[in-house]
Structure 1
């Protein structure tokens, strides 16, 4: 038994070290490869050179990625919250609830390139939408709905079911309990889920290739304007063999943005936990 426990601890320790080493190794490698091109001009300038992208910067791509992440987070967050509330508090049929959950889990497993193709076929070919920011954001929002809703369902079940049952026994309406007690109590956690969904959307390439991202554009002037995006710009630089160094610089900026978003979510969670502990004393 002692030998088995020792082997288990060794396996856990080695696995943890391996995961940490891979994570830091990737980040350091990308930093090493792209460090030479990181500058103020690279971050705040537009792509230049011939072929395009071999010189200049990536500012339009940064703005485009942030806008797509924001719009997809708003749309996906609204739908994700609505689905979660319905399944936890309003769906009376267990069978129907399981069917919806099965579709959510199934949607989370659909390849992103398939979502991009479907978005192109339905939104652009069928409904005549322009290939641009809004079309790409709608496609990304569909991709992140399962990511957001599954996490919010767990939040509502852990923090809201007992409160709802007790309040209904006291004769308080379901809508009052939901909007005055449950949602305000977990709103920070919900916003954290949505923000992580935005980061997930910002890193996706396949869904926006057909629906909104272009090789070059300026800052979007309207919601239907085509936009640049960091992951698509990175794909073009590598796929066309334009500039591997600029590609690593673009990858580094994208990773830093995603790390900042994830770090802010973590800090908000820590602050929320600290605030909860202070209320207890």
Structure 2
């Protein structure tokens, strides 16, 4: 009942949720930012996309959790699971990633893009071989921060993916434990303040390690 047994399932669940959220949000944010910066020609469409992203950013995380439960669990009949929790967290961090991806791409010298296109180089090749490598350090930092943000959120998964207790499962459609939700239950139910402090320390250490690895990887890629 939260007073013994360890938090290994919660650690694994938090890592899985963060990875799934980052994959979903980064893919969507990368496509959106590339379209706005390099492909979009209609300013009205681009303005509407930015307006929509700003609206998503302003939605409280608990509302996103309720939306995920209503739409994914009730309407689409997915279970409360790692999948639904990861998607909801991905929606939450999508604006955070997209705005910073767009800013990183805008900071790349425009002459680099124009020179490549003038020589007849394919746009996709230019983006993959020139633009993204230049922004790789910033991209890694953005993704790392977004993943840490997702792993530390309890409200979005309260109704969509997290449960009080669940063993480690290899199925993406199984419910999971998560460190922030476990911490919330320990304090909210008055189960064990000492264990709550221990859970908090573990969560902070995990986020610190992830951010440090991302920074080192970015530095190594930048030098290379």
Question: Structures share a fold, TM > 0.5?
Answer: yes
CA distance in 2, matches of 1:250, 1:169: 55
* Residue aligning to 1:70: 19
Query: Residue 240 of structure 1: which of 189, 203, 207 is its match?
Result: 189
Query: Residue 38 of structure 2: which of 69, 72, 89 is its match?
Result: 89
Query: Residue 101 of structure 2: which of 136, 152, 157 is its match?
Result: 152
Contact 1:196/1:265 (8 A) holds in 2: no
Contact 2:140/2:218 (8 A) holds in 1: no
Query: Residue 56 of structure 2: which of 107, 131, 141 is its match?
Result: 107
Tell which deviates more after alignment, 77-86 or 193-202. Answer: 193-202
* Residue aligning to 1:263: 212
Q: Secondary structure at the match of 2:22?
A: helix
Contact 1:213/1:228 (8 A) holds in 2: yes
CA distance in 1, matches of 2:42, 2:6: 54
* Residue aligning to 2:123: 174
* Residues 212-251 of structure 1: pairs in structure 2 closer than 5 A: 212-251=161-200
Deviation of residue 165 (structure 1)?
A: 1.7
Compared CA separation, residues 230 and 183, structure 1 to 2 (3 A): same
Deviation of residue 259 (structure 1)?
A: 1.4
Deviation of residue 160 (structure 1)?
A: 5.4
Structure 2 segments unaligned to the other structure (5+ residues)? none
Structure 1 segments unaligned to the other structure (5+ residues)? 1-51, 277-281
* Residues 4-23 of structure 1: pairs in structure 2 closer than 5 A: none
Contact 1:65/1:229 (8 A) holds in 2: yes
Deviation of residue 157 (structure 1)?
A: 1.0
1:136-162 residue CA offsets vs partner (Å, 9 max, x unmatched): 001111111111111111111111533
1:64-116 residue CA offsets vs partner (Å, 9 max, x unmatched): 00000011111111111111111111110122212211221221121100100
* Residues 20-35 of structure 1: pairs in structure 2 closer than 5 A: none
* Residue aligning to 2:4: 55
Q: Secondary structure at the match of 2:107?
A: helix
4+ runs of 1 displaced by more than 6 Å?
Answer: none
- 2:70 pairs with 1:121: yes
* Residue aligning to 2:112: 163
Q: Secondary structure at the match of 1:159?
A: coil
Deviation of residue 222 (structure 1)?
A: 0.7
CA distance in 2, matches of 1:175, 1:248: 48
* Residue aligning to 1:19: none
CA distance in 1, matches of 2:125, 2:174: 41
1:187-232 residue CA offsets vs partner (Å, 9 max, x unmatched): 3432332222111100000010000101011102311111100000
Deviation of residue 261 (structure 1)?
A: 1.5
Contact 1:136/1:207 (8 A) holds in 2: yes
- Alignment size in residue pairs: 224
Deviation of residue 184 (structure 1)?
A: 3.0
